């Protein structure tokens, strides 16, 4: 089969080496590969039109590409991408069916997949990325910006400079595929959840923390800032809202729930951050953010945010029928699927047996009925407070766990990455 290759040729100038001026890109010029014992110069001989006097062969980068029916090289880059994503603390496990590769092919071009593998979890400018990786700077920022717009990367635009970093599958790339989400993509994600879910819940450093309905926390009780939705909102200066990706996926699969969809809040510590953000559908005011939280509570949606002490940048408002996290807790019976400092208690003497708490409010099937009375299954309760706020007889209360039973969250996202990576046994230092 024919071989093709990609290379950049640097010309000597009196000032050093100029940017590439001759580029034979993949797929444009076929040639017969020389034996491995031949020098790079023998390859150049096949391009006799070039002025070899101007070429420094030590600076030629040659990348063989097999152009055959199986498209092996293209397949390899997606496997490499999947391996990189599985090396990140959040994980991206392989499947026997290869459904994860199908998902990646829908999101990334081969070239974008390759660039993703060169990036890190920490923010960098295009100049820093070019210097570190040896990639040409020309056009790099535009390409990174396009990948950000496609939900393949996370970026921040400070006006005079943009910075970029890679994202894990969850929370990250998956949540930002709202534009791409269609029936085919939804079906692939639903199939992949069967493999991703068990792995994701296997490591006891939960991704998310429950933020209870604030008014149900006793006034005299000490609660920390990351346990109060108001404290998280008040740290922000910009707010945005998106449709819930989980609800959209389930709707495409024919399981649309009747709860509000535009309830995923984004928070930033700087003003006007979401005014022209490529991944946030609508910039909103602080009051609108509070209004969405109130609507969510009325609609029996659980407040979930990052399992961190500080640096929160989202609040998801989730239902047990659509949310991957809450569905996973019910499906796999994982009590530690989210971090929580509270649990609910029902006073059986005050309970009138209406069933509102179990049938309409609880999202994780943590309330059961026996002889007309309802009780909370402590091991399943996530302490969201939704059952408390609508009990007609005030029989339900929210109780703070004992100090020894409360698991303090990691300090920030980097600390979360370190702890999760250590427990998973992955070395992601190359991407830190």
> Across the 432 residues of the chain, what is the mean pLDDT of every consecutive 10-residue run?
34 36 37 38 36 34 42 82 97 97 97 98 98 97 97 93 96 95 97 91 88 76 75 96 97 95 96 93 96 96 96 96 92 80 94 95 95 92 94 94 94 96 95 94
Taking a C-beta distance cutoff of 8 angstroms, is the pair 287, 239 a contact?
A: no
DSSP notation for 372-409: TEEEE-TTT-----HHHHT-TT--EEEEEPPGGG--PP
Tokens of residue 178, six digits: 């709202």
Neighbours of 389 (CB within 10 A): 17
Q: Residue 163: which region, alpha, beta or left (left: phi > 0; alpha: psi -120 to 50)? A: beta
Q: Which residue has the tokens 């996926």?
A: 249
Q: Is residue 193 part of a domain?
A: yes
Predicted pLDDT at 39: 37
Q: Is residue 422 part of a domain?
A: no
**Helix, strand or coil, per DSSP, at residue 124:** strand
Do 262 and 348 have their domain in common? yes
Predicted pLDDT at 90: 94
Tell me which DSSP letter residue 427 carries: -
DSSP notation for 184-222: HHHHHHHHHHHHHHHHHTTSSS-SEEE---GGGS-TTS-
| Overall domain count for the chain | 3
Do 174 and 208 have their domain in common? no
Q: Is residue 92 part of a domain?
A: yes
Tokens of residue 114, six digits: 């390759």
Q: Is residue 47 part of a domain?
A: yes
Cα–Cα nearest to 164, from 176, 156, 152, 173: 156
Do 222 and 330 have their domain in common? yes
Do 87 and 18 have their domain in common? no
* Rounded Cα distance, 80 and 72, in Å: 12
Q: Is residue 143 part of a domain?
A: yes
Do 342 and 375 have their domain in common? yes
Predicted pLDDT at 166: 98
Q: Is residue 417 part of a domain?
A: no
Gyration radius of the chain over CA positions: 26
- Annotate 91-113 with b (16+ C-beta within 10 A) or e (fewer): bbbeeeeebbbbbbbebbebebb
Do 103 and 194 have their domain in common? yes
Domain that holds residue 189: 72-198
Do 286 and 179 have their domain in common? no
Q: Which residue has the tokens 């152009």?
A: 67
**Among candidate residues 136, 165, 198, the one where a domain is terminated:** 198
Taking a C-beta distance cutoff of 8 angstroms, is the pair 239, 284 a contact?
A: yes
Task: Using alpha carbons, list the distances in angstroms from residue 110 to 116, 140, 152.
Answer: 10, 16, 13
Predicted pLDDT at 323: 94
List the Cα angle 83/103/246 in 5-degree steps: 110
* Rounded Cα distance, 38 and 35, in Å: 6
Do 161 and 273 have their domain in common? no
Taking a C-beta distance cutoff of 8 angstroms, is the pair 355, 391 a contact?
A: no
**Helix, strand or coil, per DSSP, at residue 126:** helix
**Among candidate residues 45, 66, 87, the one where a domain is terminated:** 66
Do 219 and 307 have their domain in common? yes
Taking a C-beta distance cutoff of 8 angstroms, is the pair 144, 123 a contact?
A: no
Do 84 and 157 have their domain in common? yes
Predicted pLDDT at 72: 62
Tokens of residue 238, six digits: 């910009």
Q: Is residue 428 part of a domain?
A: no
**Among candidate residues 66, 97, 118, the one where a domain is terminated:** 66
Q: Is residue 427 part of a domain?
A: no
Whether the bond into 171 is cis, omega within 30 of 0: yes
Q: What is the CATH number of the domain that holds 140?
A: 1.10.10
Predicted pLDDT at 71: 57
Do 217 and 348 have their domain in common? yes
Give residues with Cβ within 8 angstroms of 105, minimum separation 6: 78
β-pair partners for 209: 305, 339
Taking a C-beta distance cutoff of 8 angstroms, is the pair 163, 147 a contact?
A: no
* Rounded Cα distance, 98 and 106, in Å: 13
Do 115 and 187 have their domain in common? yes
Taking a C-beta distance cutoff of 8 angstroms, is the pair 399, 385 a contact?
A: no
Predicted pLDDT at 215: 81
């Amino acid at each position: 089969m024919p071989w093709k290759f990609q290379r950049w040729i640097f010309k000597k100038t009196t000032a050093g080496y100029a940017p590439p001026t001759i580029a034979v890109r993949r797929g444009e010029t076929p040639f017969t590969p020389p034996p491995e014992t031949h020098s790079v110069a023998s390859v150049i001989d096949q391009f006799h039109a070039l002025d070899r006097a101007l070429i420094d062969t030590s600076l030629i980068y040659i990348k063989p590409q097999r152009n055959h029916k199986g498209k092996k090289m293209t397949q390899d880059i997606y496997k490499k991408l999947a391996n990189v994503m599985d090396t990140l603390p959040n994980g991206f496990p392989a499947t026997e069916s290869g459904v994860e590769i199908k998902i990646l092919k829908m999101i990334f071009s081969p070239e974008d997949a390759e660039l993703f593998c060169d990036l890190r979890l920490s923010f960098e400018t295009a100049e820093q990325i070019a210097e570190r990786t040896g990639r040409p700077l020309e056009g790099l920022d535009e390409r990174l910006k396009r990948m950000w717009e496609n939900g393949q990367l996370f970026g921040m635009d400070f006006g005079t400079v943009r910075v970029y970093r890679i994202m894990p599958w969850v929370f990250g790339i998956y949540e930002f595929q709202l534009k791409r989400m269609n029936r085919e993509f939804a079906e692939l994600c639903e199939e992949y959840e069967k493999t991703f879910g068990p792995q994701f819940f296997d490591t006891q450093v939960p991704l998310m923390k429950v933020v209870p309905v604030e008014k149900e926390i006793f006034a005299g009780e000490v609660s920390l800032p990351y346990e109060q939705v108001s404290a998280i909102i008040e740290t922000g200066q910009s707010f945005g809202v998106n449709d819930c990706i989980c609800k959209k996926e389930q709707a495409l699969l024919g399981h649309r729930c009747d709860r509000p969809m535009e309830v995923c809040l984004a928070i930033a510590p700087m003003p006007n951050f979401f005014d022209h953000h490529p991944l946030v559908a609508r910039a909103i005011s602080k009051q609108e953010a509070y209004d969405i939280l109130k609507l969510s509570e009325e609609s029996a949606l659980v407040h979930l945010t990052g399992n961190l002490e500080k640096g929160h940048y989202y609040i998801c408002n989730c239902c047990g029928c659509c949310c991957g996290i809450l569905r996973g807790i019910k499906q796999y019976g994982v009590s530690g699927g989210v971090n929580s400092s509270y649990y609910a208690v029902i006073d059986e003497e005050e309970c009138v047996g209406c069933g509102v708490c179990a049938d309409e409010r609880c999202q994780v099937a943590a309330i059961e009925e026996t002889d007309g009375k309802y009780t909370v299954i402590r091991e399943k309760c996530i302490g969201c407070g939704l059952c408390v706020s609508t009990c007609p007889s005030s029989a339900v209360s929210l109780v703070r766990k004992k100090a020894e039973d409360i698991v303090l969250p990691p300090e920030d996202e980097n600390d979360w990455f370190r702890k999760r990576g250590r427990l998973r046994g992955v070395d992601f230092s190359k991407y830190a």
